[in-house]
Amino acid sequence: MPLPVLARKMQKLASQQLHQLKQLLTGRGFIKFKRLYKIKGELGQGGFGIVYKGVRLSDMLPVAVKFIERRHVREWGRLAEQRVPMEICMLTRCNQLSGVITLLDWFSLPE
């Protein structure tokens, strides 16, 4: 497949995924997320989730927003008596270490 055709197909797929995300974020359960952050586009995806570029609306800080489906979470931990993915537990515990990304927020969204 020629590169321009492949690039157009990839762009269309990314656009469709962003559209699906925007539809997902119109639910009432996402009011807090929408009040605090704005999604700008896709950064990348892997086997467990999709990462979007975004901004925190309070100060326009560029952020990365990662969505992970619950079915892909293999290990769980506890944070403030709530069951959360181990990734969130570890990032919270390592938040002050240099070289570790800073976890600003996390949200539990319905599937």
Q: Enumerate the known binding-site residues for ATP.
A: 66
Instruction: Mark the binding-site residues, compressed into ranges.
Output: 66
Residue by residue, DSSP assigns 42-109 as EEEE-SSEEEEEEEETTTTEEEEEEEE-GGG---EEEETTEEEEHHHHHHHHTTTSTTS---------
With H, G, I as helix, E, B as strand and everything else as coil, classify residue 2: coil
Distance in angstroms (rounded) separating the CA atoms of residues 44 and 37: 18
* H or E, element range at 37: strand 37-45
